[in-house]
Structure formats: C-alpha cells, structure tokens
Structure 1
Amino acid sequence: MQTITIELDIQAPAHTVWQCLTLPEHITGWNFAHESWHCPSAESDLRPGGRFSYRMEARDGSFGFDYSGVFDDIQAEHSLHYHLDDGRTVAVELLPQGGNATLLRENFQADAQHDADTQRNGWLAIAQNLARYAERQYAAGNRA
C-alpha cells in the first residue's frame, strides 16, 4: 500500500491545532474537502483503543459516508496515530515552528480505489480547512 504525505503550515500554536483536530465540536467545523460537503456529526473517544466516527456528507444529501476507526497512539498536542476500519493507517504530527506557527504533517495509506493524486488533493483540502478553522479560532481568542 502506498503511503502519501502532506504537510501544511498553520498560523496557530500546536495546542489550538490539537484541540481543533481532536474535539468533536471542532471537527464538524472543518472536516470536509469542498464547500459542497459538510461534517454534520463527529464522535471521538480520544484514548488508545478508543473509537472515532466522523460523518461526511454532500450538502445536497446525494452521498455520505462514515470516516471511522480506532486510535492507536496519542501524544497530546504532538501526534495522533490511528487505523481506519478498512485497515489503513494514518499518522498525524504537529511540529511547533516557533512563535505561534505549527507544521501539520499527515502520513496516510492510500486506498486502492482512487489514484494517489486525487487522494493527496482531497486530504490536503481537508487539512487546509483545518488550518483556516484553527487560525480563525486562534485569532478570535478561542484558544480551544
């Protein structure tokens, strides 16, 4: 299985990014690749062995799916490792960049159904939504 890596600079401290990345009330605010989609619900038992499920749906109701799996390793404000229900693994790292900047690095195993560029672009679009959301939260004084 091919592993794909994306990286993105976020102008918010790791603490804020972590809260936005892991708390259901924040996940629903950014977890979609395009404005025609949304994440109407998110559940998360943030502990090793805990399950998560994020509902992703087209806003017009034409399609939806659950992005779900189990957390494997959690280092608060630093890294999050999990596996999806289909067995693929994901590793997320938050790397402080000085000041209030954080580098988000995600490594994920590609699925066999879509080409690598499509998957990279989709995951990058979702990460960009996370970045904008976390930056807005930080700028608004919501240190999450």
Structure 2
Amino acid sequence: MSDNKTLAPITIEAVVNAPIEKVWACWNEPEHITQWCHASDDWHAPFAENDPKTGGKFKTTMAARDGSFSFDFGGIYDEVKTHESIAYTMEDGRKVSIVFTADGNKTKVIETFDPEKENPIEMQRGGWQAILDNFKKHTESV
C-alpha cells in the first residue's frame, strides 16, 4: 500500500449564495460549525472550538446521532488570511487548504486536502463534498 505522500490531493468546491463576510463567519464560528459539520443527517457535530489565526487550533467532534461512534477532527492553522484563505495541518499530518473567492453576493469555496490511505478516494471525496454541501445549505439559510 502506498503512503499518503504518493496520493494526489483531492479538491472539492461549492458556490455559496452569500457574501464573503457571511461565508467566513459561518465557516469559522463554533455556533455555525456545529450546524453544518457532518456528512449525513444521521451524524452531527455536538462540539466545536476554533481559533482561526496562524498557529491557532481547532477541534470539532463529529458523532453518530445514535451515540454509536464519535471522533474529534482537529488541527493547527498554518496560515489564515481573513476572507481569502485558510491552510491547516490535521493531527495526522495531512494538509488542507481552503480558498474563498468573493464575487458580489456569491462566494466560491475551493477545498483541497491530502487523502488518508484507509478509505477509497471516491468515498473521501464524497464525504468531504457532503460536508461542504451542508455548509452551503446552512450558510444560505441563516
């Protein structure tokens, strides 16, 4: 089996029908993160903490609604440029970057992440895209 360094990064994206200020707030404020950070309706995010600055840390607990399983998703910010981009390193060493591009009342969000080697690439892409789609839905509805 190949190691993470040989797997190509995965990129997902969404266009959110909201201005950059609202998108940024929904992406970074814990009270919003707990509303969108899950891949399917049988999961939720009961806890989130976030310090969105270079060197800051974040942690979100993702849990099955039936209580059967949960895990913490976290890392340290390598670089945060307000209303522009975020780069972080997950606890397992994988890298993630998010670019926010404002266009009036729309904001394009492009997220690129290093895949892990335990699950198929398409499963990872689908899971991360589902979370991004939930983010879009939440941001457009608040």
TM interval, shorter chain, is: over 0.9
Residue in 1 that maps onto 2:140: 135
1:3 aligns to 2:9 (yes or no) = yes
Number of matched residues?
A: 136
d(CA) in 1 for partners of 2:79, 2:96 = 11
3-state SS of 1:86 partner: coil
- One-letter amino acid matched to 1:64: S
Q: Once the 2 structures are TM-superposed, how far is the Cα of residue 77 of structure 1 from its aligned partner?
A: 1.0
Report the Cα offset of residue 61 of structure 1. 0.5
- Sequence identity of aligned pairs in percent? 40
Q: What does residue 27 of structure 1 align with?
A: 33
2:23 aligned partner:
17
Q: 1:129 aligns to what SS in structure 2?
A: helix
How far residue 46 of structure 1 moved from its aligned partner, in angstroms, is 1.7
2:62 match: 56
Q: When the two structures are superposed, what TM-score results if normalisation uses the length of structure 2?
A: 0.93
Q: State the Cα distance separating 1:96 from its structure 2 match.
A: 1.4
Q: 1:51-85 CA deviation, whole Å, 9 max, x = no partner? A: 11100000001111000110110010111110100
Residue ranges of structure 2 left out of the alignment (5+ in a row) = 1-6
Unaligned residue ranges in structure 1 (runs of 5+)? 138-144
In structure 2, C-alpha distance between the alignment counterparts of 1:79 and 1:41, rounded to whole Å = 23
**1:54, 1:78 → 2: CA distance?**
22
Query: What letter matches 1:91 in structure 2?
Result: S
Corresponding position of 2:91:
85
Q: Which residue identity does 1:104 align to in structure 2? A: V
Q: How far off is 1:2 after superposition?
A: 2.2
Which residue number corresponds to residue 111 of structure 1? 116
Cα drift, residue 101 of structure 1: 0.7
Does the residue aligned with 1:111 lie in a helix, a strand or coil? coil
1:46 pairs, out of 46, 49, 52, with 52
Superposed CA deviations along residues 17-66 of structure 1, whole A, max 9, x for unmatched, are 11100111110010000000000000112221111110000000111100
1:65 aligns with 2:103: no
